Amino acid sequence: MSKNYRILDLLRRGRTPLENHLIDGLIDGRISRREFVRHGSLLGLSLPLLGRIGMAAGFGAAPSLARAGAPGATIRIGSSVPAAAIDPVTIADAGGLVVMQQVAEFLCVDGPDLVLKPALAESWKPNADGTVWTFTLRKGVKFHSGGEMKADDVVASIDRLADPANSSNALSVFTGILQKGNTKKVDDYTVEFHLDAANGNFPYMVSSDNYNAVIIPASYKGDYEKSFDGTGPFKLEKYTPKVGASFVRNDDYWGDKALPDRTEFTFFTDIQPQILALQGGQIDIINQMPVLAGVALLNDPNFEIISLKSSAHQQLHMHCDEGPTKDARVRRAIALCLDREKLVAGLMKGRSALGNDSPFAAVYPSTDTSVPQRKQDIAQAKQLMESAGLAQGFKMTLTTERYLEIPEYAQLIQNWVKEIGIELELNILDQGAYYGDAVFGKSNWLDSVMGITDYGHRGVPNVYLAAPLKSEGTWNAAHFKNKDYDQLATSYIAALDLEAQKATAGKIQKLLLEETPVIFGYFYDYLTATAKGVTGVQPTAMSQLFLEKASKA
Amino acid sequence: MVFLGGQVLPGNVGRAILGPFADQRAVDALNHSLGVDRPLLVQYGTWIWNFLHGDMGTSYIFRAPVAPFVIDALGNSMKLALVAFVLVVPIGILGGVIAALNLNRPLDRIISLGGLSVTVLPEFVTGIILILIFGVWLRWLPIAAAWPKGAGFFTQLYYLILPSLPLFLVLFGYIARMARSGMIEALDSDYTRTAVLKGLPWRTVIWRHVLRNALLPTITVIATQTGYLIGGLVVIETLFRYQGIGSLIFTAARGKDFPMLEAGILTIGIVYAVATLVADFLYSVLNPRIRLGAEQ
């Protein structure tokens, strides 16, 4: 399709240099349409506008997946038991956050395609260097308790999370980015975030990607389970801890009214009973299904699997400051033993993507795909061991958690590294014992010479780049200290421009391949199973589940 | 004991609630607000003091009073135990009696061998097989044991059949075997021979002389199983999504939720004590020698 420069010029008018640079990238073919839409949404360009630019640049109309189903259904969902009292400030588990997200909403939503979509905020914009982000709020949004959602509520909700005195689970996201008091009301419908340092991906930190960041009334004083207040398309009908929750349509919702009359969540402590309940027709949806547990459903024509590409992964860390893995050559040798194609196809039944020993998953538009993929190469691994003076091999312990497919993954690694003379003893622990107090010196996770840790999905790699890999990172289980890396990570996080992000990403990817403090073998998909005939269900890889368009045949 | 044991385990409450990736400052703040950063003795003292005043405390994890959780869970557990009990005790004893009366004949072999074979199968295996047959293929019985709110007696019973079946299978062989050996011993005894020689009808001999003596060890066995039936069903409760006291204690222990853990374990302790008391009482009803001994 040809490019329509006249329309493009019209659309460019009044855009910032940063936005125009992005549009140029699309026209010149330096970035793909998907990258363009995603990064454009991050910079606060509206989706219809991005669509018009895409059309004018000769890409045709964006495919529309929306298909209206029949209203009035009762949708029954199986999900894991909320691990603690549901409270936006402290919540940390999938079972709890999916319940909270039914009633409470975010400023913007990180969709399944990692494109930010406006929710309670209509639009957002950075200043020139990305240190101040201004959000314009939607007007006429009502809390279930009656009041209108305004800037004061946003300021209070975010400040509450940024306050170190509040047991906030979002503190690990906001530390070094946003401090209490730096979320400022401009007027009733405009809020400014004054950041500690430039941040090109900040909108993700106040999107559904930061699952604590729901907007609730400024007057909130704790005990969320008493009110379940929010602005969402559903209102709470009943919540019974450990048992389940039900919701009904909110007829005062600001957007399209929800299709289902009711939704019913049933809590399960284990995945197997959920699968049996879906097979027995007692639930319609399993919110999150690990691939190994769900093998029976993957090829069953009676069920549909929604498979979301995600950045969730298992990090295999190796201490860079002690033992044989102190030598980067040994770490590279171990990484070269993994048969990643086999991991993806066999262990993960094709529901995962190759990892290349950095947090840059294929789903991220900023990932530099020209960096060569690391493949199994035993000969080279043996050579590296020899040059490190360890040709005869050595013994070490791999400590990890009993969770998902990790024990099986550990066994595969144990077999693979045997080929280069490394004898791994597996120490597989209960999750509580593995994480311990989660501080250095009191945690098997952070203190083990070698370990495997599960990391949940994030819409942008910022968190993965900082806490587990930066020299002072609080989750730096590899004890990796590298000044060049720290600088690169900081400049990646600060970059506003997609091409600048990509250039830095490439450098980080190469540096991490060379150093290999952490092996990223694969990035696993987020699976949701539904009974046939259930449509309009929209999960996110953060374990949220949007049900306002759900219907049953 | 539980209190001290729990302190030795790694991790702390704040960490258990906020997860491994939470900021340490947040964890400290939460531990402070829950009061678990106070000295151990102070925590223990406060807890004991409140407990003696009828306050079971507030759950760290659910931030709500413990008592309703424990009472609900205990009620649920007792319902399930009762259904399993009503199913297994008469049928188990009957099986044992039939086996003993048909000693070494095919019927005895079937009951003894069959009973033992299902007893050795763990309940999560039989549970899944039963769910697949009755819940997924035939769809006769509901898979989850949680009945709808406000369900009547028969609906609740209907929901409890499937989860009580694996318990039945686990206990049947055990009880039948005890009853069988008690019967064999009693049938072989002098008093039975005397009773038969006295010319009493066979039915009366079995009912008044044999069964009474044969059941004594069986009752002891049943009493010791009550604790298991009420507090030890973590696997069954998980599989059938049932809110019993076993899984309540299990999750409390994992989350280091001490008020919940203490209250749950204390409750089970009381149930054990009551069950043993009832067994002793039944024993004395069936065995006049003990009664007389007490009176002397």
Find the Cα–Cα–Cα–Cα dihedral B148, B149, B154, B158, rounded to 10°: 30
pTM of the model: 0.86
Beta strands A303-308 and A285-286: pairing type? unpaired
pLDDT of residue A83: 86
Residue in chain B nearest A160 by alpha carbon: B26
pLDDT of residue B193: 84
**Burial tier of A180 (Cβ tally within 10 Å: 0-12, 13-18, 19+):** middle
A453-467 confidence digits (pLDDT tens): 999 999 999 999 999
Per-residue burial over A10-19, b = 16 or more CB atoms within 10 Å of its CB, e = otherwise: ebeeebbebb
pLDDT of residue A28: 84
Find chain B residues with C-beta within 8 A of A270's C-beta: 238-239
Tell me how close the Cα of A510 comes to any Cα of chain B, in angstroms.
Answer: 27
pLDDT of residue B294: 47
Token pair in block for residue B171: 């206990």
> Which 3-state string (H, E, C) describes A328-357?
HHHHHHHHHHCCHHHHHHHHCCCCEEECCC
Q: Can you tell me which residue has the tokens 């069953």?
A: A300
Identify which has the larger pLDDT, B135 or A194.
A194
- Whether B198 has its CB under 8 Å from any CB of chain A: the answer is no
Q: Shortest CA distance to A390 belongs to which of A441, A435, A333, A307?
A: A333
- Whether B290 has its CB under 8 Å from any CB of chain A: the answer is no
Whether residue B238 has pLDDT greater than 80: yes
- Check if the beta carbon of residue A110 is closer than 8 Å to that of residue A201: no
Concatenate the DSSP letters of all residues of B200-257 into one string: --HHHIIIIIIHHHHHHHHHHHHHHHHHHHHH--HHHHHHTT---HHHHHHHHHHTT-
A205-248 confidence digits (pLDDT tens): 999 999 999 999 999 998 899 999 999 999 999 999 888 999 99
Mean pLDDT for all residues in chain B: 83
Q: Shortest CA distance to A223 belongs to which of B25, B291, B58?
A: B58
Whether residue A346 has pLDDT greater than 50: yes
- Separation of alpha carbons A421 and A392, rounded Å: 6
Whether residue B291 has pLDDT greater than 80: no
pLDDT of residue A68: 67
- Check if the beta carbon of residue A497 is closer than 8 Å to that of residue A338: no
**Burial tier of A379 (Cβ tally within 10 Å: 0-12, 13-18, 19+):** exposed
Q: Can you tell me which residue has the tokens 């913007």?
A: A108
pLDDT of residue A412: 96
pLDDT of residue B290: 65
Give which of B7, B12, B13, B21 to mutate to test A binding, by max A Cβ within 10 Å.
B21
Supply φ then ψ for residue A6, to 5 degrees: -65, -50
A352-365 confidence digits (pLDDT tens): 999 999 999 999 98
A90-132 confidence digits (pLDDT tens): 998 999 999 999 999 999 999 888 889 999 999 999 999 999 9
Q: How many Cβ atoms from other residues are within 10 Å of residue B42's Cβ? A: 10
> Is A167–B30 a contact, with Cβ atoms under 8 angstroms apart?
yes
236-295 in A: which are within 8 Å (CB) of B?
241-244, 266-270, 272-273, 276-277, 279-282
% of residues, chain A, pLDDT over 70: 98
B134-171 confidence digits (pLDDT tens): 888 888 888 877 777 777 888 888 888 888 998 888 88
Q: Shortest CA distance to A447 belongs to which of A484, A475, A472, A426?
A: A475
Tell me how many degrees the CA angle A107-A113-A116 measures, rounded to the nearest 5.
20
Residue in chain A nearest B239 by alpha carbon: A273
Binned at pLDDT 50, 70 and 90, residue B2 comes out as: low
Tell me how close the Cα of B59 comes to any Cα of chain A, in angstroms.
Answer: 10
pLDDT of residue A433: 87
- Separation of alpha carbons A182 and A353, rounded Å: 39
Whether residue A1 has pLDDT greater than 70: no
Of B33, B62, B131, the CB nearest to A85: B62
- Check if the beta carbon of residue A99 is closer than 8 Å to that of residue A86: yes
Half-sphere exposure of B33 (CA within 13 A, CB side): 17
- Whether A296 has its CB under 8 Å from any CB of chain B: the answer is no
What crossing angle do the helices spanning B211-231 and B66-101 adopt, rounded to 10°? 150
Q: How many Cβ atoms from other residues are within 10 Å of residue A363's Cβ? A: 20
Tell me how close the Cα of B14 comes to any Cα of chain A, in angstroms.
Answer: 9
- Across the A:B interface, residue pairs with CB atoms under 8 Å apart total 134
- Separation of alpha carbons A319 and A327, rounded Å: 10
Find chain A residues with C-beta within 8 A of B19's C-beta: 92-93, 169
- Whether B128 has its CB under 8 Å from any CB of chain A: the answer is yes
B256-277 confidence digits (pLDDT tens): 888 888 888 888 888 888 888 8
- Separation of alpha carbons B265 and B166, rounded Å: 24
A14-50 confidence digits (pLDDT tens): 788 888 888 888 888 888 888 888 888 888 888 888 8
